[in-house]
Every structure is written in C-alpha cells, then in structure tokens.
C-alpha cells in the first residue's frame, strides 16, 4: 500500500470520518495477502519505499494476472520482470493501462507516478547483445522514479566509443555497467568516474565465458575501486540498487524519507 494512502486512512480515523472497524477492513490485507499460489507483500512499500516486484519466470499467465489484479486493488504500482509472450498477452488483455517494455522483457502498470529523483543514472552496456539486461535495469530505475541516460554498445573492443560519452558518465550519480565476454567494461568505467559503479555480468559470450561466469569473476576481480557486482543477468537488482542510491542522496545528510 502507498504510504500516502495509509496516512490518509489514519487521518480519516483521527478526524472521526471513518470508524476504526471500517479502517481495519481497509487494512485487512496487510501485511500480506494469501492467494494460495502466492503471498503478496502489500506492506513492502511501507518498509522499503517500493512495492513487491513480480518475477514472472516459472509463473503461469493466470497467476501473474491474479497478482497484478490484487496489487492494483491495493493501490500499488506494478513492475513485472522476465515476462514471456503468454504472460504479456494475458496482462495486457486484463489491464489496458499496462505497458510492455519489449527489450527489457518487463511490464509496468503505474497507478501513482513515483516521486522523481534528482539527477540521473547512467546505464551502460558493452554490446548490443547486452541491451536486454541493460533495459531491465533502466526500466527498473524508471519505475522507482530515477531518470536514465543510456550509453549502449561502448565495449572495450572500441574504447573510443566509451570515451566519447565520458561527460554523461561523469554527470551521473551512479553508473550501471552491463557486459558479457570477459566483463572488463565495469573496471574501465570504475577507473573513469568518482561515482558508484554497479557491474552486471551478462551471459553473452562464447563457450569459455561459461554463461557469464567469466564476466562475473572479471568484475569481482576489478582493480578499480567503487565497483559493486550483481548476479549474472540481474539488471533488475542493479536498477533497484542505483535508484536506492538516488533516494538516499535526495533524502540528504539526515537520511529523512520523503
């Protein structure tokens, strides 16, 4: 539940406009709602500032539609990741306001636009084949209120392409770097900027890349300081982490939540 909606319910109780019993009925789904196949955490926005995210891999279209419907009923924005064609078709049929982000393989349904964060996150990828992971990070950032600047196809095989966008990298408050093969791009970017770099190894590469393990180990062994590393292909985790950095910066030194 959106914190502002919960606050509004409490204010109506305080003013006497709503009885405690009626307020309790509205809050009955907290802290979670059991659908049998899923327990939806409606309280997550209150704890973390962002609703539960639907990881669609392994879920049936009917299950995803059911979860989306209950989240909307509780006033939550929706972000669903790793959506296949059947899930996309089912959700769009049930919710016309949902938006499918094809490159990211993600769906969003925005009931209340998130508070915009100041500044921007630079989302960087080494090659065109890494774009799906980078877009998952970018869409996640956007869903959490962050502005994104995309810097794509700037891998170390043509380092001049990256240096041509150096001003964009330096202006960001955080940089997400998605790269497969040997994953060297994260270390290179870490040596160019004084901002947090979030490395995302991708499963792109030839046989000896071992489905992203080579890139993962390369990023974990980065000689540049300030490089944190996500799991293989985890664009969502990187985008969420970058947006959280933005929220902390927006809150200021006192760390007060908006």
pLDDT in tens, 53-82: 999 999 999 999 999 999 998 889 999 999
DSSP states of 49-78: SSPPPEE-TT--HHHHHHHHHHHHHTT--E
User: CB of 156 within 8 A of CB of 185?
Assistant: yes
Question: Could you tell me the domains of the chain?
Answer: 3-17+25-109 (no CATH), 121-250 (3.40.50.1970)
Q: What pLDDT score was predicted for residue 35?
A: 85
Q: What pLDDT score was predicted for residue 34?
A: 75
Q: What pLDDT score was predicted for residue 184?
A: 94
Kindly tell me if the per-residue pLDDT of 258 is higher than 60: no
Of 121, 37, 44, 35, the residue nearest 75 (C-alpha): 44
Of 113, 80, 50, the residue nearest 244 (C-alpha): 50
More confident residue, 3 or 113: 113
Band (255; pLDDT cuts 50, 70, 90)? low
Mean pLDDT of all residues belonging to the chain = 91
CA distance to 153, 205, 236, per residue, from 242 (Å)? 20, 25, 10
Q: What pLDDT score was predicted for residue 122?
A: 98
Q: Any idea which of 1-5, 53-57, 245-249 has the lowest mean pLDDT?
A: 1-5
Most confident of 3-17, 41-55, 156-170: 156-170
Q: What pLDDT score was predicted for residue 256?
A: 55
Q: Considering all CA atoms of the chain, what is the largest pairwise distance in Å, rounded to the nearest integer?
A: 68
Band (25; pLDDT cuts 50, 70, 90)? low
């Amino acid at each position: 539940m959106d914190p502002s909606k919960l606050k509004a319910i409490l204010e109506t109780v305080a003013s006497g406009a709503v009885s405690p019993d009626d307020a309790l009925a509205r809050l009955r789904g907290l802290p979670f709602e059991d659908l049998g196949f899923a327990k939806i955490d409606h309280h997550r926005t209150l704890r973390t500032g962002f609703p539960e995210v639907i990881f669609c891999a392994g879920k049936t279209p009917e299950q995803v539609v059911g979860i989306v419907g209950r989240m909307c009923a509780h006033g939550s924005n929706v972000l669903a990741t790793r959506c296949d064609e059947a899930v996309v078709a089912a959700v769009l049929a049930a919710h016309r306001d949902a938006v499918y982000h094809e490159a990211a393989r993600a769906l969003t349904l925005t009931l209340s636009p998130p508070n915009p964060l100041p500044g921007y996150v630079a989302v960087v990828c080494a090659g065109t084949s890494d774009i799906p992971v980078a877009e998952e990070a970018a869409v996640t950032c956007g869903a959490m209120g962050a502005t994104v600047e995309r810097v794509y196809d700037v891998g170390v095989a043509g380092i001049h392409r990256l240096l041509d966008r150096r001003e964009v990298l330096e202006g960001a408050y955080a940089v997400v770097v998605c790269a497969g093969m040997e994953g060297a791009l994260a270390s290179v970017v870490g040596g160019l900027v004084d901002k947090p770099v979030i490395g995302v190894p991708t499963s792109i590469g030839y046989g000896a890349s071992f489905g992203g393990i080579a890139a993962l180990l390369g990023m974990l062994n980065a000689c540049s300081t300030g490089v944190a590393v996500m799991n293989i292909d985890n664009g969502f985790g990187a985008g969420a982490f970058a947006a959280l950095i933005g929220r902390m910066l927006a809150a200021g030194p006192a760390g007060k939540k908006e």
